[in-house]
Structure 1
Amino acid sequence: MNDIQVRPARPDELQVLWEFEQGIILAERPFDKTLLPGHFHYYDLAKMIENEETEVVVAVQGDKLIGSGHARIMEAKPFNQFERYAFLGFMYVVPEMRGKGVNRLIIDALVQWAKNRGLEEIRLHVYSDNAPAIAAYEKVGFKKILTEMRLDLD
């Protein structure tokens, strides 16, 4: 793992980042039948890379991008004990590098980014049936706090 670096993403890497995004969408489709069919985007990655309130990072091995993640500063609800927090997303690791600690390196970098901005809370969303993702997040210290539910009226 010493040869893997995590650094901010660059605009010239958008093509690979869009491929990572489609990998996330493909992985999440089985968990959410409400996702649109075909090609779509979760994120405006170009704007996120330029936004000071968002950090998009990539994991790099040699000259190859092998993973990504982002943190964005969000305003807390008026009833929370904190005013702002970091929300994580765009978490992706190429299949051949999964299980090798890349996700932890990405999260560690995003946690440090949040701490450097004085934030004390980090949150993320994960599908409740996505056991591997839940296990990966729990492994680095995340705890479940809420389950979102839906009812299909068709």
Structure 2
Amino acid sequence: MDTNNQNITTRPAINTDLPQLNEFLQFLVEAERPFDPTLKDGKIFYYDIQELIQDKDTEILVIEENNEIIGCGYAQIRSAKAYQRHELFGYLGFMFVKPQFRGRGINNLLLNDLKKWVLSKGITEIRLEVYSDNEPAVKAYEKAGFQKILTTMRCEIS
């Protein structure tokens, strides 16, 4: 792992980042397609990025190296289910690092900054969703302290 990350910074996303973020979202969709046969063809927008940028309960961070955006992710404060111990939790999503920058701990830098934001809201539970067959992502999140608690299963019937 390259530890030469001193030219790397994170910052909140702004509207001028939208073209790059929308491109990252399509890269993410294409990377996830092999794991999800239910995804529609063509461009898919899991969420409205501009709306997330403006949402007070969401923090979208971009990560830059030498002023080039190389990744992103968001944390969003969500309400837990009535039967869960915590009232609110931080949900992480849109975790993306450009392929040529992977393997350098950049996703961990992003995760740590998102965790700090969630903690600053007085919340100590964070969750995310990852395709169970996406073994590199599952391993990376487990290494970062996440544990599997639920598997969604599907079956096509006719």
User: What is the rounded CA distance, in whole Å, between the counterparts of 1:29 and 1:40 in structure 2?
Assistant: 11
Query: Structure 1 unaligned runs (5+)?
Result: none
**Which residue of 91, 107, 122 maps to 1:103?**
107
Amino acid at match of 2:109: L
Question: Shift of residue 153 of structure 1?
Answer: 1.4
Q: Structure 1-normalised TM-score?
A: 0.98
User: What is the rounded CA distance, in whole Å, between the counterparts of 2:107 and 2:39 in structure 1?
Assistant: 24
Q: Structure 2-normalised TM-score?
A: 0.96
Please tell me the root mean square deviation across aligned C-alpha atoms, in Å.
Answer: 0.7
Identity of aligned residues (%): 45
Matches within 5 A, 1:4-153: 4-153=8-157
Question: Shift of residue 84 of structure 1?
Answer: 0.3
User: What is the rounded CA distance, in whole Å, between the counterparts of 2:144 and 2:37 in structure 1?
Assistant: 29
Deviations 1:54-77 (A, max 9, x none): 000011001100000001111000
Kindly report structure 1 stretches of 4+ aligned residues shifted beyond 3 Å. none
Deviations 1:65-118 (A, max 9, x none): 000000111100011110000100000000000111110011001000000000
Alignment: residue pair count: 154
Query: Structure 2 unaligned runs (5+)?
Result: none
User: What is the rounded CA distance, in whole Å, between the counterparts of 2:66 and 2:13 in structure 1?
Assistant: 15
